[in-house]
Amino acid sequence: MQIRIFLTKTECNRKTLMKFSTFAKAIEKCDAVLKPHELHIYQILTRTDNSILDNTLHSFVGIAAVQIGLVDLLTSVGILPDYIIGYSVGELGCAYADGSLTLEETILAAYSLGISVTEAKIPHYSVAVVGLGYKDLINICPNDIDVVCHNGPESSTITGSAESLKAFVEKLQANEIFAKVVSEKRIPYHSRYMASAKSTLLANLRKVIPVAKHRSYKWLSTSVPRNEWSSAQFSSAEYLTNNLLKPIFFEETTNLIPNNAISIEITPHSQVEEISKKLLQKTVIALTQKDHKDNVKVFLEGLGKLYNGGLQLDLAKLYSPVEYPVSRGTPMISPLIRWEHSDDWFTMDFNNQEQLASGERIITVTYATEEFKYIKGHVVDGRNLFPGTGYLCLVWETLGMTINKLYSDRSVVMENIKFSRATTIPNEGKVKMVVMIQKGSGKFEVIEGSAVVVTGKIYLVETNLSKEKIPTDVIKRNFKNEEEELNEKDIYKELKLRGYQYSGLFRNENH
């Protein structure tokens, strides 16, 4: 099993996460770093009015601070990723998780990005999502529209002028291709229209990252094509500048993730989760949700899913250490724990099987019992009949009871089976059957009312079970080299034409 972390823009209910001391300490450190720049991270993160994040600078530092806090939280409980992938400015969080940027460098880099974009005064453009992959979309895009995010084989994000983008979206919709404008006024990150900010970005980032460190193998780049990774080995001002100017190669990078990976998504509202599930067919776990009233609950539920996935977590590190002995007024924890009964789960029934002193057993058959409910779907020529193999199963069960063993754990052979008559099961009422097995000879009878229904012989097979099976060459000879494939619909159609009108639980073929 391998763990990979997605980081992208993270705008969740930040205040509730302050309950975790590790998260609160990380935010406190970020606040101390930003104070000389007259920014108060607590005010940005705890205001209930999310309009504060419409400010580009506030958005950048807020996103970076939450990512730093969440990475510290995961590290504290023992979650160390095998791979890290950043989506858009999530690569700044990757640099921190990778260890190639310190907390101070990360939050100041976010500040520099925000200041640079603000000072560049870049015109706003429209943004849309399209239900086509980059390879299908690039050849039909107008010249003034850029594909800025390669989300997956059936998902891309594009940006361009409002008029051109609207016309292109309408054209795609007319051809029954999913397309939707998500914003008509947004900074065109990851497009050619960001070029005017390049020099400002580079200059400001070089001030806070004077010495670039190597990126580890864990950090898989989404802002540099894979064939150019050798030229992007450092977590540098140049790398982070390129991140805002170039497209996001998310699809290409996530194709490198192995099948047994568990993905931890640090995003506002699971925006990568659906893309990842379709693209990767792997486990994706989100730790935050935008506008959720209690992101502590969301985070803890995420940790629970990680535990179910096989990770061992040191949950005690989430909380301050407890000093013993505790004071006399400390409340008990047991009243706070309640069973969750909102879901129903199937459980195994391990009731003791009845043991028969004699070889006779009386069975009551009715639709009302769970054991025989399936029979309602066994209709032959318009009559609801007890299945032929059902009689044999009753005999098998009865034999198991006589030897006080679970019948399904014992192999048996039945010989000279003769079906004398059928048994109709009424919609209401009951049918009683008697199964009798002679102890010495193994001969059996199934009786309904006063009439014999089935007779035969049954005995246990303890050794040489293979000798009792039909040789495979006999089966192959009967095929006469004819090959025919039938799906579920074809099989039940053939049976219906022959009078077998199976339905409900009795329709067990689903291939």
Q: Are residues 229 and 85 in the same domain?
A: yes
User: Is residue 127 assigned to a domain?
Assistant: yes
- pLDDT bucket at 340, cuts 50 / 70 / 90: confident
Q: Which residue has the higher pLDDT, 226 or 510?
A: 226
Q: Which of 77-86, 173-182, 350-359, 435-444 has the lowest mean pLDDT?
A: 350-359
Residues contacting residue 459 through CB under 8 Å, at least 6 positions apart: 412, 413, 442
User: Is residue 455 assigned to a domain?
Assistant: yes
Cβ(130)–Cβ(172) under 8 Å? yes
Q: Which of 363-377, 439-453, 461-475 has the lowest mean pLDDT?
A: 461-475
Q: Are residues 177 and 214 in the same domain?
A: no
Tokens of 310: 């096989």
Q: Is the pLDDT of residue 30 over 80?
A: yes
User: Is residue 344 assigned to a domain?
Assistant: no
The pLDDT > 70 percentage for the chain reads 87
Cβ(220)–Cβ(241) under 8 Å? no
Q: Is the pLDDT of residue 3 over 70?
A: no
Tokens of 135: 């390879």
- pLDDT bucket at 85, cuts 50 / 70 / 90: very high
Alpha-carbon gap, residue 58 to 50, rounded angstroms: 11
- pLDDT bucket at 1, cuts 50 / 70 / 90: very low
Q: Are residues 129 and 141 in the same domain?
A: yes
Q: Are residues 131 and 228 in the same domain?
A: no
| DSSP type of residue 374 | G
User: Is residue 328 assigned to a domain?
Assistant: no
Q: Is the dihedral of CA 215, 2, 228, 281 positive or negative?
A: negative
Q: Can you tell me whether residue 106 is helix, strand or coil?
A: helix
| DSSP type of residue 257 | S
Show which of 260, 291, 318 is a domain's final residue.
318
User: Is residue 382 assigned to a domain?
Assistant: yes
DSSP E strands in 135-178: the ranges are 146-152, 155-160
Count how many domains the chain has.
3
Cβ(179)–Cβ(130) under 8 Å? yes
| Residue recorded with tokens 């100017």 | 245
Q: Are residues 181 and 219 in the same domain?
A: no
Alpha-carbon gap, residue 46 to 396, rounded angstroms: 68
Q: Are residues 174 and 203 in the same domain?
A: no
- pLDDT bucket at 221, cuts 50 / 70 / 90: very high
User: Is residue 389 assigned to a domain?
Assistant: yes
CATH of the domain at 467: 3.10.129.110
CATH of the domain at 205: 3.40.366.10
Alpha-carbon gap, residue 92 to 235, rounded angstroms: 9
The arithmetic mean of pLDDT across residues 418-425, rounded, is: 91
User: Is residue 343 assigned to a domain?
Assistant: no
Q: Is the pLDDT of residue 211 over 70?
A: yes
Q: Is the pLDDT of residue 318 over 50?
A: yes
**Which pLDDT tens digit goes with each residue over 232-276?**
999 999 999 999 999 999 999 988 887 778 888 886 555 555 555
Alpha-carbon gap, residue 42 to 52, rounded angstroms: 12
Alpha-carbon gap, residue 46 to 14, rounded angstroms: 6
Q: Are residues 135 and 218 in the same domain?
A: no
User: Is residue 354 assigned to a domain?
Assistant: no
Q: Is the pLDDT of residue 147 over 50?
A: yes
Show which of 186, 201, 234 is a domain's final residue.
186
The arithmetic mean of pLDDT across residues 385-403, rounded, is: 90
Q: Is the pLDDT of residue 73 over 80?
A: yes
Q: Are residues 244 and 208 in the same domain?
A: yes
Tell me, letter by letter, the H, E, C secondary structure of 388-449: HHHHHHHHHHHHHHHCCCCHHHCCEEEEEEEECCCCECCCCCCEEEEEEECCCCCEEEEEEC
The pLDDT > 90 percentage for the chain reads 46
- pLDDT bucket at 341, cuts 50 / 70 / 90: confident
Q: Are residues 286 and 235 in the same domain?
A: yes
pLDDT value for 472: 66
pTM of the model: 0.64
**Residue 230 structural domain:** 14-121+193-318
Alpha-carbon gap, residue 153 to 92, rounded angstroms: 26
Mean pLDDT score of the chain: 85
Q: Is residue 68 exposed (0-12), middle (13-18) or buried (19+ Cβ within 10 Å)? A: buried
Q: Which of 327-336, 413-422, 467-476 has the lowest mean pLDDT?
A: 467-476
The arithmetic mean of pLDDT across residues 386-412, rounded, is: 89
Residues contacting residue 78 through CB under 8 Å, at least 6 positions apart: 312, 313, 314, 317
Q: Which residue has the higher pLDDT, 30 or 18?
A: 30
Q: Is the pLDDT of residue 132 over 90?
A: yes
pLDDT value for 55: 86
Q: Are residues 100 and 214 in the same domain?
A: yes
- pLDDT bucket at 23, cuts 50 / 70 / 90: very high
Show which of 134, 168, 186 is a domain's final residue.
186
* φ/ψ bin of 477: left (φ > 0), alpha (ψ from -120 to 50), beta (otherwise): alpha
pLDDT value for 64: 92
pLDDT value for 338: 83
Q: Are residues 128 and 270 in the same domain?
A: no
pLDDT value for 52: 63
Q: Are residues 97 and 245 in the same domain?
A: yes
Q: What are the C-alpha distances in Å from 301 to residues 7, 37, 74, 285, 395?
A: 19, 37, 13, 9, 49
| DSSP type of residue 264 | E
CATH of the domain at 161: 3.30.70.250
